[in-house]
Structure 1
Amino acid sequence: MHSADILTDAFDRIRAVVHESVDGLGEDALNHRLDPAANSIAWLVWHLTRVQDEHVAELAATDSLWTGRGWYERFDLPVHRHATGYGDTPAEVALVRAPAELLTGYHDAVHAHTVGFVGALTDQDLSTVVDTDWDPPVTMGVRLVSVIGDDLQHVGQAAFIRGLLSRSMDRRTDQAAAG
Structure 2
Amino acid sequence: MNTAELLLDAFGRVHEAVHRSVDGLKPADLHHRIDPDANSIAWLVWHLTRVQDDHVSEVAGVEQVWTAKGWKDRFGLPFDAAETGYGHGSADVAAVTVSSGDLLTGYYDAVHEQTTRYVGGLTDADLDRVVDTNWDPPVTLGVRLVSVFEDDIEHAGQAAFLRGVLGRTGG
TM-score tier, shorter chain, comes to over 0.9
**Cα distance in 2 for residues equivalent to 1:147 and 1:41:** 18
- Conserved in 2, the CA contact under 8 Å of 1:24 and 1:100? yes
Instruction: Measure how far apart 1:35 and its partner are.
Output: 0.5
Q: CA deviation at 1:157?
A: 0.2
Match of 1:3 in 2: 3
| TM-aligned CA deviation for residue 61 of structure 1 | 0.5
SS of match in other structure, 2:121: coil
Q: What is the percentage of aligned positions where both structures have the same residue? A: 60
Give the distance between the partners of 1:70 and 1:117, measured in 2 at CA. 20
Counterpart for residue 85 of structure 1: 85
Tell me, yes or no, if structure 1 residue 137 matches structure 2 residue 163: no
The range that moved more, 20-29 or 71-80, is 71-80
- Unaligned 5+ runs, structure 2: none
Q: How does 1:6-21 map to 2 (within 5 A)?
A: 6-21=6-21
Question: How much does 1:81 deviate?
Answer: 1.7
The normalised TM-score by structure 2 is: 0.96
SS across alignment from 1:136: coil
Equivalent in the alignment of 2:152: 151
Is residue 107 of structure 1 aligned with residue 108 of structure 2?
A: yes
In the TM superposition, residue 78 of structure 1 has moved relative to its aligned partner by: 1.7
> Which structure's relative contact order is higher, taking Cα pairs within 8 Å and 6+ residues apart?
2
Q: What amino acid is the match of 1:30? A: L
Q: Could you report, residue by residue, the CA deviation over 1:96-150 in whole angstroms, capped at 9, with x for unpaired residues? A: 0112000000000000100110000111111101111111111001000000000
Q: Give structure 1 regions of 4+ aligned residues with deviation exceeding 6 angstroms.
A: none
Q: Deviation at 1:82?
A: 1.4
Q: Does the aligned pair in 2 maintain the 1:46–1:103 contact within 8 Å?
A: yes
State the structure with more CA Rg: 1
Q: Which runs of 5+ in 1 are unaligned?
A: 170-179
Normalising by structure 1, what TM-score?
0.92
Q: How many residue pairs end up in the alignment?
A: 168
SS in 2 for 1:130: strand
Q: Match of 2:162?
A: 161
**Aligned-partner SS, 2:166:** helix
Q: Does 1:60 align with 2:60?
A: yes
